[in-house]
Structure 1
Amino acid sequence: MKNHILKIAFLFFIISTVSCKNSKTEEIPVDIIKKDNSLVEITSSQFENSKMELGKISKQLFTETIKTNGYIDVPPANRAKVSAIIGGYVKKSPLLVGDRVTKGQLLLTIENPDFIEIQQNYLEISEKLTYLKSEYNRQKILFDENITSKKNYLKAESDYKSSVALLNGLAAKLKMININPLSVKAGKITSIVPIYAPISGSVTAVYTNVGEFMNASDVLLEIINNEHKHLELIVFEKEILKIREKQPILFKIPESSSEKYKAKVFLVGKSIDKNRTVRVHGHLENEDVPFIVGMFVEAKIITNSVEKQALPIETVLEKDGEYFVLVLREKNNETYKFEKIKVEIGEKNEDWIEILDNNLENIQILTKGAFLPLEKG
């Protein structure tokens, strides 16, 4: 019985020992081994699983830029504030903000008894003019034959020409309020006048309601044609001398998207406003993008571009104010061996960092995932 118990205890000891050894083996990381302070060894599986990439130094554009801001705008000819020539009560106003209109389309109508008085005056002068013209011609014949006095002739001439001028003035006034003088002559008198769209575009504001009295100086609604949108940028006086026409512009709409868009400097203002800034007008490279007039933009005007030797910014590692890259020294089916090399850097931008060392050209460098080996080492 005693021998049987000893056998069971020995068997349990062996099973426990094997189990502990297996558990310990699984916990040992073997993916990355640092040979010394500068050499890093990475297994092929680690390289693939971490999606690392190799690359070389390449020439990239580094730009000098001026940061500014502004907004999306349209030319003055594409923006209209509609008002009536003569005040009146709004009779009809069917449009809403966002409605599309075409040039010459009816926008609203205004009613005022004064419109009737203008048409009546036009008719009276028109009828009176027939008599005055006849009298003027008669007096001219009599004066030429020395039958009447010069005074009578000059009075008839003055009355006729004054009435012609008054009639033409009333006709112009009728046309300004969109009433056809020929219709008035035909007896069609109205107290309601139409207001037409001066440009094609979209209604961006409506300032009136049906039944409301609007003065001649009041704006009834606004229309914007956004087919020719542009950038209106604000640049400080100290930087304006660096800006020239046709310089590239990169901009974004920070409130709605991080995407970058392109434009070019088209015009540079010739005067400085009270805030010591100058307006810079830029033309969009792609006008099909559905920008909304008035959108705030952040922009960079590129004033100079220079090609320099560079690496992706994530390739270069920084430690204690010094910069390093991992250079491939050996590769086989199982491992990649990299050497940590100190480098001198120059300029940086969002994507690239300039490398001042000339001895790294055409050498393969770990360009993606370079921080992983150092973290695990």
Structure 2
Amino acid sequence: MTPSDPSAPAVTPADAPLSPGPDRPAPTDRQRSVARQIVPIAAILAVTALVAFFVLRDEPAAAGGEEAEAVEVDYPRGPHNGRLLQPDAEGGLALEVTIAEDGIPPEFRIYPFAGGAPVPPGQVDLTVVLTRLGSVDTLGFERSGDFLRSTSTVTEPHSFVVDLVATYQGQTSLWSYDSIEGRTTMTDDVMERAGVEIEPAGPATILEGLHLPGEVALNTERQAHVTARFPGVVSTVTVGEGDFVRQGQLLAVVESRQLVGVADDYVRAAHRLHYVEGEYERERQLFERRISAEREFRAAEHELEEARIALQVAEQSLVAAGIPRGRVRALDTEPTGDRGALASLARVEVRAPTSGLVTARDVSEGESVSDSRTLFTIADLSTVWVEVTVYQRDLATVRPGMTAVVRSEDTGAAVEGRVRFVGPVVGQESRAATARIVLPNPGGRWRPGQFVEVDLATAVYDVPLAVRTDAIQDFRDFRVVYARHDGQFEVRMLQLGVSDSTYTEVLGGIRPGEPYAATNSFIVKADIGKSGATHDH
């Protein structure tokens, strides 16, 4: 855009058929005739340039990835290098339109002429209507020196259809022209193929704070290491690494001679308890009749208590091996010397203590295993940990309870959690500590070992208007998004506030609820760049 410049060099009469001032003779009739021919000639030139514009914008970019060169549509210019709007008839009102923005908010400055001479601005009543994509602005004007100045700012983008209505000496004149920049047409079908998605600008919660690397890890608090409980030989294995198991599901079978010995101990303890109970009852009766001494009764009482404890220990050992308590208690009903029931107990069933994923299997059929060896590792992946690397300089800022957003660049997934723990030890090589976040993991989308990005919120802002951070692009000297109206995209120059990796606050430049390209906006940017639109007034 070219601001008005009173010191701009004078133009020739052919360029500006106006009164030249005291040092230049008045224009001849032939010059006025030439001036009247400027409008149709300029119109032909404009149409030709517009055709070239649309042809060139559809051609592929030049080799090497260079964008198409800008196509400028020229028009008659006045002495201030602005757009010259010719009068309807000889001697009628003409206007030179400029937009000044050098060091000031953009404003229209319009210079009136009539009969080739400047007109005092106070004699002209002027209204300008700017029809934009999605809105209409009506501007009023006031006198300022030798021009009329708009009473409101001409907001960016300067892309609109301009309609001017001016009244001078009782005569009303109308002009209209297009001033388009940063705009392109894109059909819904093209958008879908390009992955361009539309969202309305609106409120958002923005986290301001630290951006740190992290890694998904197993929640070891919900991890089970499964053993056989008794040594023996593995006869059956029913699951493998990567299988999902339910609580109580059979994992393996171990044939254990030691378990048979424990069962035999239980039977012996049960038989001894029956015997001791009989002895105790006999001693109790003798003591009550004062036939035996109290010392003998107390000894029988103590022996009974020991027999009961021995039976409970033997029973609990069998139950811990996975044998139902009812079956254990039925052992002492077997006839003495019948070893069939005991032999059947050699089969130790190894079952899943919890539901989850088998993350490790360290056993094969036919192997001898001890009661301390881990045969399976089962991880409950309904929750996972995210272990965050917190550098030494940031440790004073990070604390338990902080809000965190965890993101995967690979999948695009994002979820909110809270810091649960901050490690007290700083690594000697990394000079960093570990903070831990517990995340819900429905569907198992967060995989242990996966690298993630973590935003820790040192401050939380609820803002009334925001756009997606990834949607923001550079356009000239502005940060912009591309608003969508009636099948077209157009730049919206933004004033920005706080931001995080998801949303950025907007202080001005786009209306609440206005739709914009939220994803793959770089494709829209490339299409606008290919069109070669210019910023000229």
What corresponds to 1:234 in structure 2?
Answer: 388
Superposition pairs of residues 221-300 of structure 1, within 5 angstroms? 221-226=376-381, 228-236=382-390, 238-239=394-395, 241-243=397-399, 245=401, 247-252=403-408, 254=409, 257-265=410-418, 267-269=419-421, 272-275=424-427, 277-284=433-440, 287-288=442-443, 290-300=445-455
- Choose which of 209, 216, 227 in structure 2 pairs with 1:71: 216
Superposition pairs of residues 91-240 of structure 1, within 5 angstroms? 91-179=235-323, 180-187=327-334, 188-189=341-342, 190-226=345-381, 228-236=382-390, 238-239=394-395
Tell me if structure 2 keeps the 8 A contact 1:98–1:204. Answer: yes
CA deviation map 1:148-169 (0-9, x unaligned) = 1233223322222211111111
Deviation at 1:71, TM superposition (A): 0.7
Unaligned runs of 5+ in 2: 1-47, 55-70, 75-80, 83-97, 100-157, 160-177, 188-199, 335-340, 482-490, 518-523
Deviation at 1:246, TM superposition (A): 6.7
Structure 1 residues 274 and 183, CA gap change in structure 2 (3 angstroms): farther
In 1, the alpha carbon distance for the partners of 2:255 and 2:370 equals: 12
Structure 1 residues 299 and 136, CA gap change in structure 2 (3 angstroms): same
In 2, the alpha carbon distance for the partners of 1:165 and 1:60 equals: 66
Deviation at 1:225, TM superposition (A): 2.7
How many residue pairs match? The answer is: 324
Residue type at the aligned position of 2:473: E
Structure 1 residues 303 and 133, CA gap change in structure 2 (3 angstroms): same
Tell me if structure 2 keeps the 8 A contact 1:72–1:296. Answer: no
Structure 1 residues 60 and 224, CA gap change in structure 2 (3 angstroms): closer
Unaligned runs of 5+ in 1: 1-24, 327-337
Structure 1 residues 74 and 350, CA gap change in structure 2 (3 angstroms): closer
Share of identical aligned residues, percent? 17
**Higher mean C-alpha displacement, 108-117 vs 57-66:** 57-66
**Higher mean C-alpha displacement, 65-74 vs 133-142:** 65-74
Q: Normalising by the residue count of structure 1, what TM-score does the alignment of the two structures yield?
A: 0.68
Structure 1 residues 376 and 50, CA gap change in structure 2 (3 angstroms): farther
Superposition pairs of residues 353-368 of structure 1, within 5 angstroms? none
Tell me if structure 1 keeps the 8 A contact 2:218–2:379. Answer: no
Superposition pairs of residues 320-339 of structure 1, within 5 angstroms? none
In 1, the alpha carbon distance for the partners of 2:348 and 2:292 equals: 47
- Higher helix fraction (1 or 2): 1
What corresponds to 1:316 in structure 2?
Answer: 475
What corresponds to 1:20 in structure 2?
Answer: none
Residue type at the aligned position of 1:33: E
Structure 1 residues 244 and 181, CA gap change in structure 2 (3 angstroms): closer
Deviation at 1:244, TM superposition (A): 6.0
Determine if the alignment matches structure 1 residue 303 to structure 2 residue 448.
no
In 1, the alpha carbon distance for the partners of 2:320 and 2:444 equals: 38
Tell me if structure 2 keeps the 8 A contact 1:66–1:302. Answer: yes
Q: Normalising by the residue count of structure 2, what TM-score does the alignment of the two structures yield?
A: 0.50
What corresponds to 2:72 in structure 1?
Answer: 33
Residue type at the aligned position of 2:416: A
Structure 1 residues 128 and 258, CA gap change in structure 2 (3 angstroms): closer
Structure 1 residues 89 and 325, CA gap change in structure 2 (3 angstroms): closer
In 1, the alpha carbon distance for the partners of 2:182 and 2:479 equals: 21
**Higher mean C-alpha displacement, 34-43 vs 234-243:** 34-43
Tell me if structure 2 keeps the 8 A contact 1:87–1:213. Answer: yes
Q: Secondary structure at the match of 1:181?
A: helix
Structure with greater contact order relative to length (CA < 8 Å, sep ≥ 6):
1
Deviation at 1:202, TM superposition (A): 2.7
Deviation at 1:283, TM superposition (A): 3.3
CA deviation map 1:115-157 (0-9, x unaligned) = 2221112112211221211111111221222211233223322
Structure 1 residues 250 and 166, CA gap change in structure 2 (3 angstroms): closer
What corresponds to 2:229 in structure 1?
Answer: 85
Q: Secondary structure at the match of 2:273?
A: helix
